């Protein structure tokens, strides 16, 4: 089955969320000493984190809009409850997209 534009946006949002979580992990106690040992490393982690979170929210809003849902509501959920709300929004939007595509009849071409 071909991938829809909403599924592509949600996949990109998922990748951006994983990158952001990787940067957050670098700032947690087991790795923080190694991360803050170098100023360029701290700046790089901060910039990547900021870009990844921003892209995650943009792609999440695009996915919601392409599914004809309220982009503002879904992005607000992801922003206010980050990172758990972001994961919840991705899971729910993916589930709603699967439900919608399961209800639509398949088009067969000869």
DSSP conformation letters of 10-58: HHHHHHHHHHHHHHHHHTSHHHHHHHTT-HHHHHHHHHHHHHHHHHHHH
96 CB-contact burial (10 Å; exposed 0-12 / middle 13-18 / buried 19+): middle
Q: Which helix (H) or strand (E) holds 86?
A: helix 84-103
What is the residue extent of each domain of the chain?
A: 5-101
- Give the pLDDT confidence score for residue 61 in this predicted structure: 97
Residues 30-43 have a mean pLDDT of 95
Q: pLDDT at residue 26 above 90? A: yes
CB neighbours (10 Å) of residue 59?
A: 21
Q: pLDDT at residue 109 above 60? A: no
Residues 30-40 have a mean pLDDT of 95
CA distance 13 to 34: 28
pLDDT grade, residue 99 (50/70/90)?
Answer: confident
């Amino acid at each position: 089955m071909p991938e829809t534009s909403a599924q592509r946006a949600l996949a990109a949002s998922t990748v951006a969320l994983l990158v952001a979580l990787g940067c957050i992990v670098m700032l947690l106690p087991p790795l923080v000493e190694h991360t803050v040992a170098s100023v360029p490393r701290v700046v790089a982690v901060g910039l990547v984190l900021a870009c990844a979170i921003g892209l995650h929210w943009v792609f999440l809003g695009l996915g919601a809009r392409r599914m004809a849902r309220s982009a503002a509501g879904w992005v607000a959920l992801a922003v206010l409850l980050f990172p758990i709300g972001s994961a919840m929004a991705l899971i729910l939007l993916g589930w709603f997209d699967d439900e919608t595509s399961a209800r639509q009849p398949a088009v067969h071409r000869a």
